[in-house]
Structure 1
């Protein structure tokens, strides 16, 4: 009886997690189109649905269920005040660092007269779309300075000290930890390897795969969706963020000058710009001490110029 209850709970959790995904939306749209076909009868609707699932959608659904079953177990629901990492000294350092980042971004925005986020004009959207595969050309970035230097971030991390750390511990042992000494409980190698469970595609890819199959294999492993990527790309084309220039500059300073990575420069722009628009990343911040800066886009409505339309929230990830 307990096994049946556990199975029912697992199925309910899978259904709840799959709802709202791109696969669910695609299957729902396809099912609605099938309902308009003349051969579909109300008395045989259940059998028609089963035959519908035996088509190519059956494999897609199996892949989605398999991926959900092999994901790390989701954390239980917790009160809002407990969503962040309960390490006061780390949260204090994180808040100080975030204030520094936001201040630097706002100062740069004011000095350069560049808004943190804006709607791109139609002509600019078309121009960016036309050079989507050549994004590393003709970008005036000299006036944009880095928000912080890697040395600054290293100094902040090195300065972290837990107030609960036993100061009487042997100093010689701590010297082997290196510069960053944040005593947090983490899994050891044995525990980490014990969790290496994945699908056949993951097992196959670990042993190497031909170059021609890598795209299909990674798409299967990650359960990626072309429509989702196109939506993120549309967000890049529609909205211009100040941090886009910082992404351009960072790639220019690293990949462009590297003998091995300069050929992937345009791909890096595409991936990073689309990643900065992916709202799914926000879920990771619920259980993370970081809080990304946010910016609202305001656009005048043509019907009434006295009002302002607040566009969807644009997240800026650093």
Structure 2
């Protein structure tokens, strides 16, 4: 594997890559980096693919625009289009985890000519809601449940990133702990934040690193977020309603390329996005694989690297995928 910077049309991006052959693009989520895919980059490279995992816009050593509006879904998909072109390719398979999954799904939805297949992890495709912007619907659900605010709604505030910036080490340690499959039920995050609490304060202070994460690997995250801050990553969330407005032309559109979806059995994100799993086939008619990995939490490609690699390679070897 090697790390390098590559200048695309609109952004200088840092990528982690290995191998030669058909291009497979791996898109991380929050709060992660291209290194989150290290096990997949190595396995794909060894299997005859060109695996590329960028630090996404606002993260790590990739450039960080300062305007909130520069983190819309159109920018995020555009970055991946530019990256494929800068790598000298015209097509690839796109893989996404967490926030990277919606980006990957939209790559396939918007540019099926370039993104010939899609593999989503942890977050299923969520079709555009015709009745109005998503944050109002999320707030209504939170009110009805009486469990506090969904953290996504809290992230809409202009200063929401500051609670992370104060102490990146604690913030990251708690985030990885609260969404991990090895964490007991009562210590996992529900995604909802009571009044007077923050995303950070809802996780116990004695939270430990997940069993799969070494101290050295954790320091890579801490150093990156201490240097770059959390504003850019949280700005992705602040564009949810803007994304809804920008994608009216995609209302009721289907993802027609070959697709797969893999989720951890114990992923807390299913508390608020899991309802989209049952109807995924309706929106992704060429869904070749839908798998629940026993015992896995949210950080599935790192928690269960061997199993994710096995499933990903099996998908890539299906007819018509590559």
Relative to the length of structure 2, the TM-score reads: 0.21
Higher strand fraction (1 or 2): 2
Q: Which protein, 1 or 2, shows the higher relative CO under an 8 Å CA cutoff with sep ≥ 6? A: 1
Relative to the length of structure 1, the TM-score reads: 0.21
Higher helix fraction (1 or 2): 1
